Amino acid sequence: MTAAKPASRPHVPHFSSGPCAKRPGWTPEQLDRSALGRSHRAKVGKTKLKLAIDLTREVLEVPANYRIGIVPASDTGAVEMALWSLLGPRPVTTIAWESFGEGWVTDIVKQLKLKDVTKLHAGYGEIPDLSKVDQNSDVVFTWNGTTSGVRVPNADWIKDDREGLTICDATSAAFAQPLEWSKLDVVTFSWQKALGGEGAHGMLILSPRAVERLESYVPSWPLPKIFRMTKGGKLIEGIFVGETINTPSMLCVEDYLDALNWAKSVGGLKGLIARADASTKVLTDWQKKTPWVDFLAADPAIRSNTSVCLKVIDPAITALSPDAQADFAKKLVAAVEKENAGFDFGHYRDAPAGLRIWCGATVEAKDVEILTQWIDWAFAETKAALTKAA
């Protein structure tokens, strides 16, 4: 049985989990181009880079004694800098429940070859028992699992008197979920996520405890130039005032500044979180009245408000093989994309078959609501085609 097509389309049909939708009303013409074609070491470049750091601190409400640096290679580069520069002197606990978290485990075990590693893992849609974390170890975890739609509920499980460092990949949590800074020693994210910036630039935020580790510990392995944050046993402070390790794109910097100023205009961090929550509520309300779909994360306390992951629970579809279920989900998404009604909201390649809809602050709740209408239509169309083929 087919359904009628919805009468309207989302104003912005971009629901990718990275790079994410640009902020509402964005156009390239609005960007200040005064720094383009200039050296990032010139006064105009340094001023722009320092402003990006200062606005990041303001919008994310980062404590004054935490350092913030712009680093190469997106969130991946920021995480790798932390892992390769800080790990080694203590045991390590890794917490992973989806593909990106598992990737950091691979680096720690197979590349750094650390031996004293405790792995706390869970499957997609679940989260490990955080009470089992050894507070004397260094802890590596993602705040929000982008490919599973699962986030930590809070940071209560991290003790104030911990001996180890907490290294947190917060790339799909920053600007959409409250981060408890006193519990976090290293926080990373990229511009391409919650504020819809451009790729290739990462942000690295260090607590005083992390700086102390950097200045007192020298890893036994070589560090490439783009990972080095100390010289002569002292932190290279320039990195954290806009003197970047390598050449940044000043066009991307300008785009990030535009996003940060927009963030301030919608109420700062509180406003950004409210916008993400509003879009997620649209999906929650839709799921409650839609019998064929459910959240991958069953527990609302650990359910993401950015990378919202859903699964198809219709008996006719769940009876199919995993490959056939994945094919069904891809065809459903393709049907919506063909109508220009929603792009890039399929499941991550390593995740269970289903949908992954970005609900970060740059997405409008009304666009999410219209998207659900198109998904309903596409589900009916795709299931009818499957039934006919059978």
Instruction: Judge whether 205 and 188 are in contact, CB under 8 Å.
Output: yes
Confidence at residue 2, expressed as pLDDT on a 0 to 100 scale: 64
Using CA atoms in the order 198, 202, 203, 208, what is the torsion angle rounded to 10 degrees? 180
* Packing angle, helices 365-389 and 322-338, rounded to 10: 120
Work out the pLDDT band at 83, boundaries 50, 70, 90: very high
Domain(s) labelled CATH 3.40.640.10 in the chain stretch across 32-264
The fold of the 268-389 domain, in CATH, is Aspartate Aminotransferase, domain 1 (3.90.1150)
3-state secondary structure of 11: coil
289: its two tokens: 């009245």
Confidence at residue 311, expressed as pLDDT on a 0 to 100 scale: 98
Instruction: Judge whether 135 and 155 are in contact, CB under 8 Å.
Output: no
Over residues 108-150, the pLDDT tens digits come to 999 999 999 999 999 999 999 999 999 999 999 999 999 999 9
Tell me the C-alpha distance between 202 and 170, whole Å.
11
Over residues 141-185, the pLDDT tens digits come to 999 999 999 999 999 999 999 999 999 999 999 999 999 999 999
Cβ neighbours, 10 Å, residue 234: 11
Confidence at residue 3, expressed as pLDDT on a 0 to 100 scale: 76
Helix/strand number for the chain, H first, E second: 9, 14
Q: Which helix (H) or strand (E) holds 286?
A: helix 268-289
Over residues 2-35, the pLDDT tens digits come to 678 999 999 999 999 999 999 999 999 999 999 9
Confidence at residue 136, expressed as pLDDT on a 0 to 100 scale: 96
Domain(s) labelled CATH 3.90.1150.10 in the chain stretch across 268-389
- On the question of pLDDT at 1 being above 60, the answer is no
Over residues 250-281, the pLDDT tens digits come to 999 999 999 999 999 999 999 999 999 999 99
Neighbour-count burial for 320-336, b at 16+ CB within 10 Å, e otherwise: beeeebbebbebbbebb
Apex 263 CA angle, 97 and 206, nearest 5: 55
Which CATH code for domain 32-264? 3.40.640.10
Share of the chain above pLDDT 90, in %: 98
Tell me the C-alpha distance between 202 and 69, whole Å.
8
Report the chain's mean pLDDT, rounded to a whole number: 97
**Parallel, antiparallel or unpaired: strands 186-190 and 166-169:** parallel
Q: What's the N-to-C CA distance of the chain in angstroms? A: 14
- On the question of pLDDT at 219 being above 70, the answer is yes
Confidence at residue 390, expressed as pLDDT on a 0 to 100 scale: 77
Cβ neighbours, 10 Å, residue 361: 31
Over residues 340-363, the pLDDT tens digits come to 999 999 999 989 999 999 999 999
